[in-house]
């Protein structure tokens, strides 16, 4: 863990004044080149692509070292492949995204022509979390580079090996005034958030996000916040319980539930509860026939988070909830294959009979624990979701498409996936972002490109201008023209 009294920047220790001077150099470079040429943007994206291609094994190994156990296959599936997908999309669409977008000109402004020009913002700050340390550090970098910006990335101090590797690699592919990495603890993040950046992206908890937004507001820095929340799974009476349970189990246990859009709790008809518990248990045993020591099953990031999850379960049991621990079976796997992360491979659990005041229902769980709530009236279930804070994701399972459209229109959620989980994130053309306390602002594809761009309106006047008729001195002609315009606008 980095020394809390030091800020580590670009591979060596620096004090805060040097951070500020480096930021000023990046800012000056962004002002000197206000519109980054498309050829240079493309070349920067290709360099990031090469960084990933050249160092895949090392990147997977660094994540494994930080978690204690996370399979390279999981890192490839959840981080490297999405990064390559985002890069391919940006490289293919860059010219179209950056092209001036014509806008129709209303008749009263003829013969003027108008368009929207996407301009780079300048210097972007990215404060990334630990749960997907590559994707959530470098994914925003794809959008920011495509938009022509320069970027300072602050990875999480809870993934020090990944942070150290990125600090070593990035200077080999990017100039100091293009992309830089700020390493350190929460104090370093606070220093970054206090800079007069052109935009700041934070991904993490709502409590920390509030502090980041306040710090940025002091400098009038616009922010994008990706905060998570309690994402529900709503199961209809018509849903295929076996299919739903399998998909929910996979999404919940991927990365041991340490995913901002992981299913946080299930709402299902009371008559379906027993079948769901059985189907979910079978799905877990099928995917993870042996839990502790299984190289496919990710460890909880650190002991404090594991203690928090176990404490939540204990509190629920003491309050009368039924906790079903899914132990798994099969042969033992040698601890030497896992390392010290074996003690943090927490047993998945289902929790029935949970109450609204339990910690499990008050906080985002962020682990392999799934509360199951039962309803008698579908409308009550919908009202319960809408009564809570807006979730980052909503998962709906059912065979009646009218019910699915009804939920899509009526339930407040930042994003939604029907009859599956997580896949709304994988669709590169869909915006991904929060709403309310789950965050604000959207990334991915064109939406991420525009998030890190200023949409500058441009109007070019023609060879003559009817606006001259509205110049003073005002008189009867002006009054008559205003009456005519008013009638025209109200038609």
322-325 and 179-183 beta bridge pairing: unpaired
Q: Which residues neighbour 269 within 8 Å (Cβ) at sequence distance 6 or greater?
A: 235, 236, 237, 374, 375, 376
Cβ atoms of 48 and 138 within 8 Å: the answer is yes
Q: Which helix (DSSP H) or strand (DSSP E) does residue 125 occupy?
A: strand 123-127
Sign of the alpha-carbon torsion through 233, 239, 241, 244: negative
Catalytic annotation, pick one of 79, 178, 191, 226: 226
Closest CA to 395 of 261, 241, 485: 261
Closest CA to 438 of 204, 211, 200, 193: 204
Strand partners, 202: 127, 225
Q: Nearest 5 degrees, angle CA 223-CA 229-CA 235?
A: 135
Cβ atoms of 371 and 208 within 8 Å: the answer is no
**b vs e for 276-288, b when ≥16 Cβ sit within 10 Å of the residue's Cβ?**
bbebbbebbbebb
Distance CA 149, CA 400 (A): 45
Q: Is 226 a catalytic residue?
A: yes
For the annotated catalytic residues, the residue numbers are 226
């Amino acid at each position: 863990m980095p020394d809390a009294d030091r800020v580590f920047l670009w591979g060596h220790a620096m004090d805060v004044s040097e951070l500020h001077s480096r930021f000023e150099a990046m800012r000056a470079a962004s002002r000197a080149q206000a519109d980054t040429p498309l050829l240079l943007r493309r070349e920067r994206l290709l360099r990031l692509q090469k960084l990933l291609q050249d160092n895949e094994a090392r990147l997977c190994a660094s994540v494994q070292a930080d978690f204690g156990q996370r399979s390279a296959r999981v890192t490839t599936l959840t981080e490297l492949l999405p990064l390559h997908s985002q890069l391919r999309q940006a490289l293919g669409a860059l010219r179209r995204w950056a092209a001036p977008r014509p806008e129709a000109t209303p008749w009263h402004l003829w013969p003027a022509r108008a368009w929207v020009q996407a301009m780079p913002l300048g210097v972007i700050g990215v404060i990334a979390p630990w749960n997907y340390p590559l994707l959530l550090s470098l994914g925003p970098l794809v959008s920011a580079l495509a938009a022509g910006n320069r970027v300072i990335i602050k990875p999480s101090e809870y993934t020090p090996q990944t942070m150290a590797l990125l600090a070593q690699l990035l200077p080999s592919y990017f100039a100091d005034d293009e992309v830089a990495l700020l390493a350190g603890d929460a104090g370093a993040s606070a220093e970054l958030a206090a800079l007069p950046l052109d935009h700041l992206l934070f991904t993490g908890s709502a409590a920390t996000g509030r502090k980041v937004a306040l710090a940025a507001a002091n400098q009038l820095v616009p922010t994008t916040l990706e905060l998570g929340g309690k994402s529900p799974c709503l199961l209809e009476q018509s849903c295929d319980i076996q299919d739903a349970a399998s998909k929910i189990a996979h999404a919940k246990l991927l990365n041991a539930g340490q995913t901002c859009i992981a299913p946080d709790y299930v709402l299902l008809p009371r008559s379906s509860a027993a079948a769901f518990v059985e189907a979910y248990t079978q799905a877990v045993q099928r995917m993870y026939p042996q839990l502790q020591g299984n190289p496919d099953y990710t460890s909880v990031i650190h002991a404090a988070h594991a203690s928090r999850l176990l404490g939540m379960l204990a509190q629920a049991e003491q309050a009368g909830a039924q906790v079903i621990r899914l132990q798994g079976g099969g042969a033992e796997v040698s601890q030497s294959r896992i390392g010290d992360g074996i003690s943090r491979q927490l047993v998945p659990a289902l929790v029935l009979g949970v109450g609204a005041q339990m910690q499990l229902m008050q906080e985002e769980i962020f682990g392999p624990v799934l509360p199951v709530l039962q309803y008698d009236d579908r409308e009550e279930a919908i009202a319960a979701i809408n009564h809570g804070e807006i979730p980052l994701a909503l998962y709906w399972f059912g065979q009646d498409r009218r019910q699915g459209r009804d939920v899509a229109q009526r339930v407040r959620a930042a994003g939604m996936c029907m009859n599956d989980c997580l896949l709304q994130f994988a669709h590169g053309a869909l915006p991904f972002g929060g709403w309310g306390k789950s965050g604000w602002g959207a990334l991915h594809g064109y939406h991420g490109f525009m998030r890190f761009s200023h949409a500058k309106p441009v109007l070019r006047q023609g060879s003559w201008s009817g606006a001259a008729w509205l110049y003073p001195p005002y008189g009867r002609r002006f009054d008559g023209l205003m009456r005519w315009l008013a009638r025209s606008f109200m038609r």
